[in-house]
C-alpha cells in the first residue's frame, strides 16, 4: 500500500492519555454543550436547503439563452438571534477547553473558533466574505484537477433512464429503514427543499429523503452503500464513542466522509449507478474554477464542454458551491464538494483495515497522522454512547 502521507509517527503514552474521572466528567459536560450548540447552529442556518432554487433556475436559464448574465440570489432561512447565541457559545467553549487537560482539547478549540467565525458570517456575510471565501474554497491541486478532467472525458455523461426510476420516496424510506437496523438510534425521514435525493444530518441523527424523489433499484443499492454504510456509519460510530466531537467530525472530515462513501458506491455494489465518476469529477472541475470564474462563466464553460448534462442538473450542481454565500455574483464559495473526488483519490489507495478505521473515527486528512493516538485515547477513556 502506498502511504497516504509521509509523516514521523509519534505516540502519546497511555498514562498521559488517561483522564481522571473529574476531567472526564468536565469533558462530557463541555462536549454536550458543544453538541447542543452545533445542533442549533446547523438548524437555524439552513444553508443546505435554499427555498428558491427552481425559481432562480428559470430566471437564470431564460437569461442565459438570451446571452444575458444573471446571478441567482439564494433564499436561505436563518435565525440571527440564535446564530449570535451560537457565536458566543463557541467562543466560551474555546476558552473552557483551553483550561481542560485533555488530548482532544486542541481539536475542540480549533472547531469552536472556526464555527464562531462562521456564525458571524451567517449573521452578516458582507464584512466576513473575504475570510469565508478564503477558508472555504478548498481548491483542488493542479494534479487533482487534471485527474478530474481525465475522468470526465473517459467517463462521459449518460442520460439516466428515467423509466427505471419507478420507486417513490415512500418505498425508498422503507428500504432504508430495513438497512438501517444495525445503526440503532438513527432515523429515516422526509425532508423538503433539499437538493440531493438523500442526505444525512448529524444534528438530527437522521437520513433525509426528498419527498418528490424517484429511485431505481440500482440507485437504492448505491445509496445504501454511500449514504448508509458511508455517512450514517461514520456518525453512528462517532456517537458510540460518546462525544459529539466525533459525530460532527474534525476539520475537513468530509474529505474522508465522501471518499469512503464514494468508494463504497463504486466497489461494494453489484452494478454501479450511472455517472458516479463523471459527477464527482465535475464537482472537482467546478471547484477548481471557483476562485477566478463567475457563476455564469462556470456554467457556460461546463455547458459547452459537456452539453449532454441537463441544464438544471448543471445549475443545481454549481448552486451547491454558492449556497452559503447566497449571492451567486460573488467569486468563490464552499469548495467542500471537491471532497467527493479528491477524498476518493485518498481513500482508494488505503487498505481495507485503514478504511474501516476511518469509518469508525470521524477525522479528516489533516489528522491522519494522529489516528493511532485518537484510537488510543478512546481505548483508555470510555464514555457513555450518545445513541
The confidence band for 12, taking pLDDT boundaries of 50, 70 and 90, is low
User: CA-to-CA distance for 181 and 58, rounded, in angstroms?
Assistant: 41
- Given pLDDT bands bounded at 50, 70 and 90, which one contains residue 13? low
Report the side by side order of strands in the sheet with 198-201: 187-190, 206-209, 198-201
Compute the average pLDDT of residues 170-195: 92
Residue-wise pLDDT tens digits, 56-82: 999 999 999 999 999 999 999 999 999
User: Mutual orientation of helices 105-123 and 21-44 as an angle, nearest 10°?
Assistant: 20
Residues 6+ apart with CB under 8 A from 99: none
- Report the percent of the chain where pLDDT is more than 90: 90
pLDDT of residue 31 exceeding 50: yes
Among the ranges given (5-9, 77-81, 210-214, 220-224), the one the predictor scored with the smallest mean pLDDT: 5-9
- Torsion angles phi and psi, residue 193, rounded to 5: 70, 10
Checking if the pLDDT of 2 tops 60, the result is no
Q: Which of these, 380, 385, 357, 306, lies nearest to 20 by C-alpha position?
A: 380
Residue 196 banded pLDDT, cuts 50, 70, 90: confident
Angle of helix 276-289 relative to helix 295-305, nearest 10 degrees, comes to 140
Number of other residues whose CB lies within 10 A of the CB of residue 238: 24
Q: Can you give the pLDDT at residue 11?
A: 44
Residue 165 CB contacts under 8 Å (≥ 6 apart), including other chains: 214, 215, 216, 219
Domain ranges of the chain: 14-380
Say what percent of the chain tops pLDDT 70: 96
**Do the Cβ atoms of 271 and 325 come closer than 8 Å?**
no
Least confident of 191-200, 242-251, 321-330: 191-200
Q: How confident is the model at residue 15 (pLDDT cuts 50, 70, 90)?
A: low
- The candidate with the shortest Cα–Cα distance to 331, out of 285, 282, 281, 289, is 289
187-190 and 206-209 beta bridge pairing: parallel
Q: State residue 64's pLDDT score.
A: 98
- pLDDT at 162 > cutoff 90: no
Supply φ then ψ for residue 189, to 5 degrees: -150, 165
Across 84-98, 156-170, 305-319, least confident range? 156-170
Residue 241 CB neighbours (<10 A) = 21
| pLDDT tens track for 339-386 | 999 999 999 999 999 999 999 999 999 999 999 999 999 999 999 999
Q: What is the pLDDT of residue 36?
A: 98
The mean pLDDT of the chain is 94
Instruction: Answer yes or no: is pLDDT of 261 > 80.
Output: yes
Amino acid at each position: 500500500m502506498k502511504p497516504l502521507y509521509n509523516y514521523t509517527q509519534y505516540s502519546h503514552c497511555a498514562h498521559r492519555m488517561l483522564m481522571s474521572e473529574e476531567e472526564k466528567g468536565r469533558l462530557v459536560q463541555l462536549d454536550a454543550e458543544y453538541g447542543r450548540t452545533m445542533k442549533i447552529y446547523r438548524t437555524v442556518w439552513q444553508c443546505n436547503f435554499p427555498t428558491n432554487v427552481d425559481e432562480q433556475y428559470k430566471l437564470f436559464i431564460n437569461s442565459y439563452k438570451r446571452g444575458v448574465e444573471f446571478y441567482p440570489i439564494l433564499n436561505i432561512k436563518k435565525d440571527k438571534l440564535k446564530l449570535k447565541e451560537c457565536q458566543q457559545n463557541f467562543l466560551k467553549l474555546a476558552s473552557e477547553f483551553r483550561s481542560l487537560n485533555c488530548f482532544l482539547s486542541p481539536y475542540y478549540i480549533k472547531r469552536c473558533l472556526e464555527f464562531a467565525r462562521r456564525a458571524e458570517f451567517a449573521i452578516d456575510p458582507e464584512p466576513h466574505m473575504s475570510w469565508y471565501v478564503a477558508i472555504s474554497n478548498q481548491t483542488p491541486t493542479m494534479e487533482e484537477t487534471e485527474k478530474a478532467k481525465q475522468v470526465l472525458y473517459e467517463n462521459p455523461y449518460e442520460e439516466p433512464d428515467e423509466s427505471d426510476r419507478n420507486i417513490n420516496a415512500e418505498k425508498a424510506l422503507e428500504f432504508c429503514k430495513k438497512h438501517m437496523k444495525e445503526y440503532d438510534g438513527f432515523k429515516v425521514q422526509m425532508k423538503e427543499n433539499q437538493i440531493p435525493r438523500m442526505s444525512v444530518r448529524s444534528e438530527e441523527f437522521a437520513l433525509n429523503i426528498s419527498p418528490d424523489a424517484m429511485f431505481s433499484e440500482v440507485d437504492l443499492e448505491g445509496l445504501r452503500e454511500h449514504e448508509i454504510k458511508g455517512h450514517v456509519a461514520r456518525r453512528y460510530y462517532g456517537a458510540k464513542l460518546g462525544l459529539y466531537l466525533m459525530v460532527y467530525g474534525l476539520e475537513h472530515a468530509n474529505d474522508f466522509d465522501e471518499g469512503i462513501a464514494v468508494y463504497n458506491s463504486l466497489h461494494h455494489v453489484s452494478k454501479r449507478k450511472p455517472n458516479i465518476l463523471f459527477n464527482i469529477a465535475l464537482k472537482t472541475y467546478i471547484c477548481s474554477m471557483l476562485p477566478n470564474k463567475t457563476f455564469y462563466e462556470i456554467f457556460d464553460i461546463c455547458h459547452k464542454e459537456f452539453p449532454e448534462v441537463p441544464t438544471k442538473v448543471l445549475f443545481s450542481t454549481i448552486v451547491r458551491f454558492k449556497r452559503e454565500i447566497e449571492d451567486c455574483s460573488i467569486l468563490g464559495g464552499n469548495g467542500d464538494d471537491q471532497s467527493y473526488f479528491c477524498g476518493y483519490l485518498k481513500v482508494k489507495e488505503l487498505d481495507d483495515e485503514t478504511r474501516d478505521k476511518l469509518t469508525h473515527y470521524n477525522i479528516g486528512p489533516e489528522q491522519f497522522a494522529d489516528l493511532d493516538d485518537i484510537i488510543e485515547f478512546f481505548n483508555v477513556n470510555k464514555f457513555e454512547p450518545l445513541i
